[in-house]
Structure 1
Amino acid sequence: MISKIIVSVLYFAVVFYLGYKGWQNTRKASDYMLAGRRMNPFVMAMSYGATFISTSAIIGFGGAAGLFGFSLLWLTVANVFIGIFLAMTVFGRRTRRMGLCLNCHTFPELLGRRFDSSFIQGFSGLIIFLFIPVYAAAVLIGISRMLEVSLNIPYDWALIGMTAILAVYVVTGGLKAVMYTDAFQGGIMMVMMIILLYYTYSALGGVTSAHQTLTDMAAMMPEKLQKGGMLGWTQGAKFGTPLWLVIYTTIIYGVGIGVLAQPQLAVRFMTVKSDKQLNRAVLFGGIFIPLMTGVAFIVGALSNAVFTARGGKIAIAQAGGNIDKIIPTYIEQVMPDWFAGLFLLGMFAAAMSTLSSQYHVGGTSLGRDVIERGLFKRVGTSAKASQIGVTVTILATLVWAWVLPESIIARATAFFFGLCAASFLPVYLLGLYWKGITKVAAKVSMVGGFAGSMLWLLFVHEKEAAGLGICQWLTGQPTLVSAATKGSWVWLLQWVDPNVVALPISFLLAVGVSLMTKPMRQEHLEQCWANF
């Protein structure tokens, strides 16, 4: 216990020093929101990866792998190909160039200025400000559960303590402080995950033996999961069953595609000064992401075999029925004592790197995009308003972390990723590549994608619709399709992610309305493409 406390104190000393350096170099709005557009490419790459991967990925989705097994490795494939390669090459270069042409400081401002619309900037900023606290809460819950299990700190006190620490350097230091600390934290995370993977396979006699052991445990899959379609931890789920839909539409498709429209990631493309610096990040990300999500998913699945071999129960039972505790429990009960301190450090890094970016983007969305340039147009107030916005985002995240139920980390993350994809992705992609998309089409697509995603979530998707109870109150049914014949395609819609429906609708609206409405001024388009 003492060693963990000493390591934690040393870690926070470095974090606060880097935050102080960021504060020293933050003198104007572009410093606070874009790190002065001259960030070192290595720092940018490390910050992107550390922001991308958080405790929601390692603890939340790692815990989900304890239920669903190796199927979640398809999300790692999607993370590398979509979240790194496509994000950097297809979106990153044009985002940086267009952002420079239009002097954009935030992701919503990029969309707003591309379509010459304060409504688009304000509306997208409002979506981010209102809903990113839900995603941030998932990350905060992850590290707080780790502190609860590792240091026996009461969960509520862990929430408050982590919130206070992050508030100090995010509110004052802006994006420079965030990115400096991200780079340091990303290095810690890589070392920790390599050790975790090696030790787990060693505990089961090597790769082949470990996988065979897990395969042979298929009969131990909980009855409820078997009824939902699970065949085993290495075998996956039966095609077309409710759990197959959860794994492949919500987790793999929803999160895998949604990463392209994450505002806290997209803004990092605008912090470097050249395309060459973006290219360097592709190689790093291709190594970093598999070491993070790939290791977490493998260990989460194999924890069932390790727990059982040591005379315990399968992972979900060992963690008391809460999947968010599977990875923390595994670390405390299986790994050597010296590693528990290192892992706690890695979780601090994973949580703080992502939370700081979430708080920052939530605050700048309110200050810059809603108040100064979007819906209220109070010009000249962005720096102060952004700091106030960060503070409000932090407090909202703390509230969500208190009220959200157990086993929520992966679901809350998937919700925000899917909502961003349906609302922003068509407008973002077409805005970068197609001069024919119109202002009216962009507005209709964004509002339509957001509305479609929320309506499906409130009235069709079983987890949220039944939990919130709005559909029950209005119609007398948990969902609009719950009364359909069990096993029919209509009944199965309850497990289809909102993004599967809302994203195509959003794309169709963007293209269809563009073909029927007045194109944008040629002078404006020339300004947008001045650097191409």
Structure 2
Amino acid sequence: MVGHSAVNWVDIVVVIGYLLTTGYLGWLGYRRTRTAADYLVGGRSVHPIIMAVSYGATFISTAAIVGFGGVAGLFGMSLMWLTFVNIAIGILLAFTVLGEPTRRLGHRLGVHTFPELLGARYQSKGVQVFAGLLIVLFMPLYSAAVMTGGAVFAATQFGVEFEVALLVFALITAAYVIPGGLKAVMYTDTFQGLIMILAMAYLLWFTYASLGGVEPAHRYLTEMADLVPAPLQAMGHQGWTAMPRFGWGAAGYDLWWTVVTAIILGVGIGVLAQPQLVVRFMTVRSRRELDRAVPIGAIFILLMVGTPYLVGSLSNAWFAQHGPLLKGQVVKMIDAERRHALVGLMEETAPGRWAPVINPKTNQPATAPMVVAAHEPAQDVHGATLDLVSGRAPAVVYAKGDADQIIPTFISTALPRWFGLVFFLALLAAAMSTMSSQFHTIGTAAGRDLYERLTGKHGSEPSVLVMRIAIMLGLLVAVSISYNVREGYVIARFTAIFFGLCAASFLPAYLGGLFWRRATRAGALASMTVGMLVSLCWLLLVKAKEASAIGLVQLVTGGKTSLLADYPNWPSVDPIIIALPLSLLTLVLVSVLTKASDPQHLRRCFPQEQGR
């Protein structure tokens, strides 16, 4: 892997300047935070541009840029469907359908957090405490994904130790989110969002320019379909510009179910029930501000999500054309005309002496699909088994199949040194903007939704202390997870897990609270419980990637990676496909069978329906 040199004094000056600006904005938020409403919902008077960019910057993090961008490098442009879903659901549907009812209900009930919104709507301390507890327990998983993305890039780009980068991210975020509240978070989000826009615009231009333009780049990537590594082909990978093979009942369809259920649906639908995003709707005065924020948010998401997914996929073409040369012996020709070959990789053990590279996982000689270098005559390559040849492989080969390394490897290898620093700041911005909102949400859930509800001490000084302690504990948990779990496409997996868990646990109760008067306290609590339990059981026992990593399923089944290992495709299906419908059905059935909410309270929640 080719990377840039260690940090120099220019890097240090630029990063310090960025941090000072961020610190000033955090201090400004602190100066303007005088009440609980200021700390929790920004005083309900945030400008629509600030709200839209803050929403987008919170939505898009290193998990999207490094994690899902890397997954696009692995699986291809099928992830562009997630961009469409992010805009259609995460912006258009969220702002135009859910935003105003959420803002209106939040203002009427005088609430400040997402769990408090649910608890007040259903007049239930249990609902609020349940939601707050779920956030405190599981949001650090998502925070760990964001931290890992930033730390991985820093380690690749500047030679900084992963552990050092992790510590820096945590300390910087804590420094301004703990004192400043949501105003500090939203001010810094806006500044960080602008950096992200500039970096993404240049990255997209550079990638297409280095590949000869949009049409040549896509055509070349399409023609590389036969260079997809064999393990991905076995899962149903049909090339980086094609959807995976669709079907049911065979291992060759696993990739389709992973991409569509876990990534596109899990993240695309899960965004609607993200506590740190829902609270943004309660920060503006009226629907007019929400409507004005829609086009800004849509453009921001298109650039922030579309760029890494395109670049991640196209990085395979760039490495095949311009990447460092690898040496090996041709095992077989895949396409002689295009010089596509399967090559057994070799390494020089001594001057003039070469030995096979051994794959540590299989203990067998490592092979890689490769474009044999142009200076190698075709007749010398075809059928060769002894002659040493050189060539270039797709990005997934250079990243050794680790999706989380694809974007950092591409940036450090392909782009100028100065852009590496700019992109590092963009990732720092993306990480900090999301992490600050995550830890703000963890803190408010612990202080307002747990401590105040369980002790009855509302608006007290101890609750603010609890918030700040919870933020520190959340940071420690997230750092521990990030430090200990780094295998596989962990960033995207952790994000998808949290988004899917939120969708199954919160979404039916949230939608029912906004639009269905008959939704009851018992229905909401039962729905949230079913959604959470089904999701966790599926992750622990069925979803092969997660279940095998946790290890419980091996004890239950005697060594299998999934309870349904003998039934193809089920171990690749995301919990949201099972848990969300069951959670929704539970809300409807239990609500219909239990006592309706207090009519006077419903009139307060839905005054526009009086007299109907």
* TM bracket, shorter-chain basis: over 0.9
Q: Are residues 1:509 and 2:592 paired?
A: no
The higher relative CO (CA closer than 8 Å, separation ≥ 6) is in 1
**DSSP 3-state at the match of 1:138:** helix
- What residue in structure 2 maps to residue 487 of structure 1? none
Per-residue deviation, residues 475-520 of structure 1 (Å, max 9, x unmatched)? 32322111x2xxxxx3311100000100000000111111111111
**DSSP 3-state at the match of 1:238:** coil
More strand by share: 2
Matching residue's letter, 2:41: L
Q: Are residues 1:480 and 2:563 paired?
A: yes
Mapped to 1, the partners of 2:548 and 2:455 lie a distance apart of: 36
- What residue in structure 1 maps to residue 22 of structure 2? 15
- What residue in structure 2 maps to residue 425 of structure 1? 507
Mapped to 2, the partners of 1:320 and 1:238 lie a distance apart of: 23
Mapped to 2, the partners of 1:115 and 1:63 lie a distance apart of: 41
Q: Is the 8 A contact 2:74 2:401 kept in 1?
A: no
Per-residue deviation, residues 280-305 of structure 1 (Å, max 9, x unmatched)? 11110111111011010000000000
Per-residue deviation, residues 425-467 of structure 1 (Å, max 9, x unmatched)? 0000111001011111111101011111111111111111111
Task: Give the CA RMSD over aligned residues.
Answer: 1.2
Mapped to 2, the partners of 1:216 and 1:149 lie a distance apart of: 29
Task: Please state how far the C-alpha of 1:307 moved relative to its aligned partner.
Answer: 0.8
**DSSP 3-state at the match of 1:231:** coil
- What residue in structure 2 maps to residue 335 of structure 1? 415
**DSSP 3-state at the match of 2:569:** helix
- What residue in structure 2 maps to residue 100 of structure 1? 107
- What residue in structure 1 maps to residue 349 of structure 2? none
Mapped to 2, the partners of 1:152 and 1:317 lie a distance apart of: 21
Mapped to 1, the partners of 2:608 and 2:195 lie a distance apart of: 37
User: Which of 71, 86, 91 is equivalent to 1:79?
Assistant: 86
Q: Are residues 1:120 and 2:127 paired?
A: yes
Mapped to 2, the partners of 1:166 and 1:124 lie a distance apart of: 24
Q: Are residues 1:405 and 2:417 paired?
A: no
Task: Please state how far the C-alpha of 1:255 moved relative to its aligned partner.
Answer: 0.3
User: Which of 25, 28, 38 is equivalent to 1:31?
Assistant: 38
Mapped to 2, the partners of 1:243 and 1:320 lie a distance apart of: 19
Matching residue's letter, 2:13: I
Mapped to 2, the partners of 1:508 and 1:474 lie a distance apart of: 29
**DSSP 3-state at the match of 1:388:** helix
Mapped to 1, the partners of 2:605 and 2:477 lie a distance apart of: 35
- What residue in structure 1 maps to residue 296 of structure 2? 284
Mapped to 1, the partners of 2:135 and 2:19 lie a distance apart of: 29
- What residue in structure 2 maps to residue 248 of structure 1? 260
Moved over 6 A (4+): none
Alignment of 1:228-377 (within 5 A): 228-240=235-247, 241-311=253-323, 312-373=392-453, 375-377=454-456
Matching residue's letter, 1:433: F
- What residue in structure 1 maps to residue 232 of structure 2? 225
Task: Please state how far the C-alpha of 1:529 moved relative to its aligned partner.
Answer: 1.8
- What residue in structure 1 maps to residue 380 of structure 2? none
Mapped to 2, the partners of 1:5 and 1:320 lie a distance apart of: 31
User: Which of 510, 520, 541 is equivalent to 1:438?
Assistant: 520
The 10-residue stretch of structure 1 (142-151 or 495-504) with the greater mean CA deviation from structure 2: 142-151
Q: State the percentage of identical aligned residues.
A: 49
User: Highest Rg: 1 or 2?
Assistant: 2
Q: Are residues 1:497 and 2:574 paired?
A: yes
**DSSP 3-state at the match of 1:237:** coil
Q: How many residues align?
A: 525
TM-score computed with the length of structure 1 as normaliser: 0.97
User: Which of 190, 206, 216 is equivalent to 2:213?
Assistant: 206
**DSSP 3-state at the match of 1:104:** coil
Q: Are residues 1:154 and 2:161 paired?
A: yes
Mapped to 2, the partners of 1:114 and 1:344 lie a distance apart of: 42
Unaligned runs of 5+ in 2: 1-7, 248-252, 324-391
Mapped to 2, the partners of 1:210 and 1:452 lie a distance apart of: 43
Alignment of 1:58-77 (within 5 A): 58-77=65-84
- What residue in structure 1 maps to residue 595 of structure 2? 518
Q: 1:531 to 1:387 in 2, by over 3 A?
A: farther
Task: Please state how far the C-alpha of 1:308 moved relative to its aligned partner.
Answer: 1.0
TM-score computed with the length of structure 2 as normaliser: 0.84
Matching residue's letter, 2:211: L
Mapped to 2, the partners of 1:195 and 1:67 lie a distance apart of: 22
More helix by share: 1
Task: Please state how far the C-alpha of 1:376 moved relative to its aligned partner.
Answer: 4.5
